[in-house]
């Protein structure tokens, strides 16, 4: 299974992202794309210079307008309809929008006759404007505006672009900036905008007051009629329900209060009579039971009666005399007995008087009770009548409140109407011009520093964007990390691009058909022997180590060398690797397995008559087809292609081919097979029976990731058996710009310590 690439460009690095990695990636991007960035930045400076020297100078005039948002004391003790609300930021921002409105712009354009000014209705000034105008004229149907409407809209658009309104800090001052090619015109228009705003404010207030007065007048008529109807309804309802007011109170309420007071008085009289009668009854009962002697004192204290008082006094005198005579003459004396009889008569008289008084008190009690009952009955009748009146009074209160509301509204609207009428004849503006615009001395645009700053920052941004775009569009392999992330196996070696001098390496003898020694004067094939301390030789040693380490886990003698496309250097690497291993004393054979295009055979044994196909088919003995390298004792099995053969895959997948490579496995320590590329032909897929491992060659800066993925994806059994990739033809200096983590690894100064010759 192939792995999906995590990043499509050379930015693919480790999964962990840290600031240092980001910095190294950005630095590497700049180092790789600096020519593109330089030209983009140069173009930005050139455009800025063209603009600065061709743009027409413009002047900005500034006027300051103060907007007084506080209420004017004159004629504004009460707010009228349409009056401004208390000042707040939204109100100030609203005034800014009014200053920028088309109504103000149209007023200024009309007053100053700007439709006749070429700056507002003519072609655009400056080089850029001229170009735009020229292009517009080339457009089908384009031409000079004819109608008044088109001229007005064009003038409004240019007027709006030249106008800038802003609030100064948190104050109520508006700064009016207008830009024009003529300083006199800029100042004139800025002042005209302020004047137009003041006039517009006055007109708006006048119209608002007039509309409010008209509306108030109509509303007053309605309210007066409604108030009259409401008062008439109250009077009719009172008459219908017999509701009469007396001094601000209803008649039944006054009667109810009076009856309530009478009832209270009757109850008090009845209670007093009841108490007197009860007391007299108690005294009478006591006299009947015990006689007068025990109650004589109480009678006078309780009953303030002259008869009883006189009889009691006589009784007391006789009692004193009796006591005196009884002491003198004895209790049986006739005089004493007569005194006692007189005292008895007096007691009887007092008792009779008490009974008469008791009857009188009982009569008074009955009268008081009758009076109380009568008052209660009258009160109950009045309460029942009052309940009916109270229910009607609830409705009456509602009607009266409605009438009072209409009266209050009428009075309030009348007052507002009077104020509104007065304000129509005396409108008050809330704004004034505090700083009049004057013609500026110096142009406001274009400014050199601003243009240069925009050129610098914009150019840098565009340059980096262009560099980033090129990086993202770069789908070729640049680093080993890309191979590992995209293809799913490691990069075992990075072989540099070898630029040979005219002299080349040490030349060996030419090929000898009789002795079957192949030509070793190929500069590239000799380089690995002539420069043993080079990056190239060291990279091939890393490949040999990888082969040996893989052989610890499983047999790994037969190594197939392939690539996605042709001309990626697989044949050169196969021959160089075989010569390097053979130089170390191992028994090695190099097999040209590319039967369709035996490039290795053309380079090493161009005169060979028999080779791999003949050995597989049994038409020639193996020993008769081998060629030898006199410098390293490397054996080479060529692939002779006398005619085009479309069945090469069948030959490689035959049992005879498998038997041949079994024989080679026994006879040699290493079998290096140069195979055909994966994408154009299917021959490599036929070798999986006898190849132990594959080395996948990727050309640096040329092989596209998509092509390699597709080639390996179509041969998954090959992909699963790839032991690693070789990144070939690497520009080591440029490689440092792509591999941000290991850029310093490619520096020569680290190799020179060990005698490397690069």
The CATH number linked to 570 is 3.40.50.300
Dist CA 286 CA 293 (whole Å)? 10
Judge whether 512 lies within some domain.
no
133 with 144: CB under 8 angstroms?
A: no
697 is a domain residue: yes
Verify that 562 and 694 share a domain, yes or no.
Answer: yes
Looking at the fold, whether 421 and 451 belong to one and the same domain comes out as no
Q: Is residue 558 part of a domain?
A: yes
If asked whether residues 382 and 463 sit together in one domain, one would say: no
* pLDDT for the residue 563: 94
Specify whether the backbone of 516 is left (phi greater than 0), alpha (psi in -120 to 50) or beta: left
pLDDT along the chain (758 residues), means of 10: 42 52 73 82 89 84 82 43 54 85 90 87 64 60 66 89 89 90 91 89 78 78 80 76 58 71 82 80 72 48 69 84 83 83 84 81 84 81 68 70 79 76 63 87 84 88 85 80 88 88 45 68 80 89 94 92 92 94 94 92 89 92 92 92 75 93 95 94 92 94 88 90 93 72 52 59
| Maximum pairwise Cα distance, the chain | 210
Strand order in the sheet with 163-167: 163-167, 173-180, 59-67, 431-435
**CB of 60 closer than 8 Å to CB of 179:** yes
**Per the domain annotation, does 344 fall within a domain?**
yes
Q: How far apart are CA 89 and CA 345, in angstroms?
A: 112
Give pTM, 2 decimals: 0.52
Is there a domain that residue 232 lies in? no
Alpha helices of 139-182 — where are they, by DSSP H? 148-162
Predicted pLDDT of residue 376: 81
Q: Within this chain, do residues 546 and 418 fall inside the same structural domain, yes or no?
A: no
Residues 463 and 575 in one domain: no
Q: Say if residue 362 is in the same domain as residue 456.
A: no
Domains of the chain: total:
3
Question: What pLDDT score does 73 carry?
Answer: 40
* Alpha-carbon torsion (593, 599, 605, 608), positive or negative: positive
Q: 538 and 569 in one domain? A: yes
566 and 526 share one domain = yes
Query: Same domain, yes or no, for 451 and 365?
Result: no
Q: Is residue 567 part of a domain?
A: yes
Same domain membership, residue 459 and residue 416: no
Please report, for residues 63, 203, 210, 438, the alpha-carbon distance to residue 198 in angstroms, rounded to integers and kept in the order given: 13, 9, 18, 19
Residue 86 lies in a domain: no
pLDDT value of position 573: 94
Residues 566 and 678 in one domain: yes
In the chain, the N- to C-terminal Cα span, in Å, equals 39
In a domain, 79, yes or no: no
The answer to whether the beta carbons of residues 176 and 190 sit under 8 Å apart is yes
What was the pLDDT predicted at 754? 60
Query: Distances from the Cα of 534 to the Cαs of 501, 520, 527, 541, 748, in angstroms?
Result: 15, 19, 9, 11, 10
For residue 403, what are the domain limits?
249-425
294 lies in the same domain as 350: yes
Distances (CA, A) of 230 to 18, 319, 702: 84, 87, 100
From CA 710, how far away is CA 565, in angstroms rounded? 11
b/e burial code for range 39-64 (CB count within 10 A of at least 16 → b): ebbeebeeebeebeeebeebbbbbbb
Tokens at 528, concatenated: 């690995």
Q: What is the pLDDT of residue 464?
A: 85
């Amino acid at each position: 299974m192939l792995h999906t690439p995590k990043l499509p460009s050379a930015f693919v690095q480790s999964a962990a992202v840290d600031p240092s990695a980001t910095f190294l990636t950005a630095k590497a991007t700049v180092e790789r794309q600096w020519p593109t960035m330089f030209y983009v930045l140069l173009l930005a400076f050139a455009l800025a210079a063209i603009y600065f020297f061709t743009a027409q100078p413009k002047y900005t005039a500034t006027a300051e307008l103060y907007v007084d948002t506080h209420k004017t004391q004159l004629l504004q003790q009460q707010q009228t309809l349409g009056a401004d609300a208390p000042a707040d930021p939204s109100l100030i921002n609203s005034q800014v929008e009014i200053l920028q409105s088309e109504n103000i712009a149209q007023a200024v354009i009309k007053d100053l006759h700007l439709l006749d000014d070429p700056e507002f209705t003519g072609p655009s000034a400056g080089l850029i404007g001229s170009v735009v105008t020229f292009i517009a004229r080339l457009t089908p149907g384009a031409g000079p505006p004819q109608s008044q409407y088109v001229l007005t809209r064009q003038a409004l658009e240019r007027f709006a672009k030249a106008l800038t309104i802003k609030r100064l800090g948190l104050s109520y001052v508006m700064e009016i900036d207008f830009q024009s090619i003529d300083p006199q015109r800029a100042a004139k228009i800025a002042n005209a905008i302020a004047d137009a705003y003041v006039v517009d404010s006055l007109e708006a207030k006048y119209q608002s007051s007039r509309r409010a007065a008209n509306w108030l007048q109509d509303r007053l008529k309605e309210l007066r009629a409604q108030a009259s109807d409401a008062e008439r309804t109250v009077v009719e309802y009172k008459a219908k329900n017999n509701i009469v007011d007396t001094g601000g109170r209803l008649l039944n309420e006054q009667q109810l209060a009076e009856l309530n007071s009478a009832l209270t008085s009757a109850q008090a009289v009845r209670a007093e009579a009841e108490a007197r009668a009860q007391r007299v009854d108690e005294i009478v009962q006591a006299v009947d039971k015990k006689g007068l002697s025990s109650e004589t004192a109480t009678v006078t204290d309780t009953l303030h009666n002259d008869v009883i008082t006189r009889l009691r006094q006589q009784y007391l005198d006789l009692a004193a005399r009796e006591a005196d005579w009884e002491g003198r003459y004895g209790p049986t004396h006739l005089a004493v007995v007569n005194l006692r009889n007189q005292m008895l008569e007096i007691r009887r008289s007092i008792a009779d008087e008490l009974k008469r008084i008791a009857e009188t008190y009982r009569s008074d009690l009955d009268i008081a009770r009758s009076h109380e009952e009568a008052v209660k009955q009258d009160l109950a009748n009045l309460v029942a009548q009052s309940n009916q009146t109270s229910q009607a009074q609830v409705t009456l209160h509602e009607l009266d409140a409605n009438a009072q509301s209409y009266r209050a509204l009428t009075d309030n609207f009348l007052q507002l109407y009077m104020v509104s009428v007065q304000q129509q004849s005396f409108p008050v503006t809330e704004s004034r011009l505090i700083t009049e615009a004057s013609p500026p001395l110096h142009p406001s645009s274009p400014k050199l520093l601003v243009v240069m700053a925009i050129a610098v920052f914009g150019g840098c941004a565009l340059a980096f964007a262009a560099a980033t775009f090129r990086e993202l569009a770069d789908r070729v392999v640049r680093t080993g990390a890309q191979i590992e992330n995209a293809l799913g196996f490691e990069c075992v070696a990075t072989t540099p691009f070898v630029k040979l001098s005219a002299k080349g390496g040490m030349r060996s003898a030419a090929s000898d058909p009789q002795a079957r020694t192949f030509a070793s004067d190929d500069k590239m094939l000799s380089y690995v022997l002539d420069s043993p301390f080079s990056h190239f030789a060291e990279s091939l040693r890393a490949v040999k180590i990888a082969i040996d380490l893989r052989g610890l886990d499983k047999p790994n003698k037969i190594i197939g060398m392939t690539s996605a496309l042709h001309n990626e250097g697989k044949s050169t690497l196969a021959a160089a690797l075989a010569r390097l291993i053979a130089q170390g004393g191992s028994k090695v054979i190099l097999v040209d397995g590319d039967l369709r295009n035996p490039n290795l055979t053309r380079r090493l044994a161009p005169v060979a008559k028999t080779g791999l196909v003949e050995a597989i088919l049994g038409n020639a003995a193996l020993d008769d087809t081998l060629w030898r390298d006199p410098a390293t004792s490397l054996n080479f099995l060529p692939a002779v292609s006398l005619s085009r053969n479309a069945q090469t895959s069948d030959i490689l997948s035959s049992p005879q081919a498998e038997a041949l490579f079994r024989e080679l496995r026994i006879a040699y320590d290493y079998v290096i097979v140069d195979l055909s590329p994966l994408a154009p032909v299917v021959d490599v897929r036929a070798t999986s029976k006898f190849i132990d491992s594959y080395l996948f060659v990727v050309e640096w800066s040329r092989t596209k990731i998509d092509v390699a993925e597709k080639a390996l994806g179509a041969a998954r059994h090959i992909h699963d058996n790839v032991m690693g990739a070789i990144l070939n033809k690497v520009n080591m200096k440029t490689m440092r710009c792509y591999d941000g983590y290991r850029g310093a690894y490619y520096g020569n100064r680290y190799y020179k310590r060990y005698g490397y010759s690069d």
